[in-house]
Structure 1
Amino acid sequence: MYKYYMLIIVLHTLCKTALGVQLPKDIKKCHFGDTKCLIVSINDLIKRYPKGIPEIGLPPLDSTRLEDVAILDRPNVGAVWLTFYTRDNVNRGFNNATITHVDGFSRDPTKNIMTIEAHIPSLIHEATYDMLGRYLLFVANTTGKLKSDFQNVQLKLTIKSVLEYRNHKRYLKIYELKPKVELDRWIVWFDNLYRENTDLTIAVNRAFNENWLEFWNGLEPGLMKSFAQCFTGMLNKVFENVAYDDMFLPDVGENE
Structure 2
Amino acid sequence: MSRITCIAIFCAILTVQAKFPNDPKACKYGDGECIVKFINDLVSKKSATGDRDINLVQIDPLPVAKLQLKQGEDSPVNIDLTFTDNKLVGLSTMTYTKVKGFGKNLAQKHELLWNIKKISVLGPYTISGKVLILPISGNGVSNMTMVNAEAKTTFIGKPIEKNGETYMDVTNFKLYLNPERIYYHFTNLFNGDKALGDNMNAFLNDNWEAIFGEVKLSLESAFGEVYHAIIRNVFTKYPYDKYFID
Normalising by structure 1, report the TM-score.
0.81
> Structure 2 CA distance, aligned partners of 1:26 and 1:39?
14
Q: What residue is the counterpart of 1:31 in the other structure?
A: 28
* 1:176 CA displacement: 1.5
Q: What residue is the counterpart of 2:233 in the other structure?
A: 237
> Structure 2 CA distance, aligned partners of 1:218 and 1:139?
16
**CA separation of 1:246/1:59 partners in 2, compared to 1, >3 Å: closer, same or farther?**
same
Q: What residue is the counterpart of 1:43 in the other structure?
A: 40
For the 8 Å contact 1:22–1:56, the answer to whether it is kept is: no
* 1:67 CA displacement: 4.8
> Structure 2 CA distance, aligned partners of 1:229 and 1:71?
13
Q: 2:70 aligns with which of 72, 75, 83?
A: 72
SS at match of 1:225: helix
Q: What residue is the counterpart of 1:11 in the other structure?
A: none
**Which is greater in Rg?**
1
Question: CA-atom RMSD, angstroms?
Answer: 2.2
For the 8 Å contact 2:65–2:84, the answer to whether it is kept is: yes
Is residue 199 of structure 2 the alignment partner of residue 203 of structure 1? yes
For the 8 Å contact 1:50–1:62, the answer to whether it is kept is: yes
For the 8 Å contact 2:62–2:87, the answer to whether it is kept is: yes
* 1:132 CA displacement: 2.8
**CA separation of 1:205/1:139 partners in 2, compared to 1, >3 Å: closer, same or farther?**
closer
Q: 1:85 aligns with which of 82, 101, 121?
A: 82
Letter in 1 for 2:123: A
Letter in 1 for 2:237: N
Matches within 5 A, 1:146-165: 146-165=142-161
CA deviations 1:116-141 (Å, max 9, x no partner) are 11111111211322223369xx9755
* 1:229 CA displacement: 0.5
CA deviations 1:194-229 (Å, max 9, x no partner) are 224112101100111011001111111221111111
Letter in 1 for 2:184: V
CA deviations 1:82-120 (Å, max 9, x no partner) are 32222223211111211101011011121x210011111
Is residue 216 of structure 2 the alignment partner of residue 220 of structure 1? yes
Is residue 162 of structure 2 the alignment partner of residue 166 of structure 1? yes
Percent identity over paired residues: 22
Q: What residue is the counterpart of 1:9 in the other structure?
A: none
**CA separation of 1:65/1:196 partners in 2, compared to 1, >3 Å: closer, same or farther?**
closer
* 1:21 CA displacement: 4.2
Q: Using the TM superposition, name which of 54-63 and 66-75 deviates more.
A: 66-75
* 1:25 CA displacement: 2.5
Q: What residue is the counterpart of 1:57 in the other structure?
A: 55
- The gaps in structure 1 that reach 5 residues or longer are 1-15, 252-256
Which structure features the higher share of strand residues? 2
Is residue 96 of structure 2 the alignment partner of residue 99 of structure 1? yes
CA deviations 1:3-61 (Å, max 9, x no partner) are xxxxxxxxxxxxx76xx544322122011011111111111111121221134321112
Q: Using the TM superposition, name which of 162-171 and 180-189 deviates more.
A: 162-171
User: Which 4+ runs in 1 deviate beyond 4 A?
Assistant: 138-141
> Structure 2 CA distance, aligned partners of 1:22 and 1:199?
59
Which structure features the higher share of helix residues? 1
| Aligned positions, number | 227
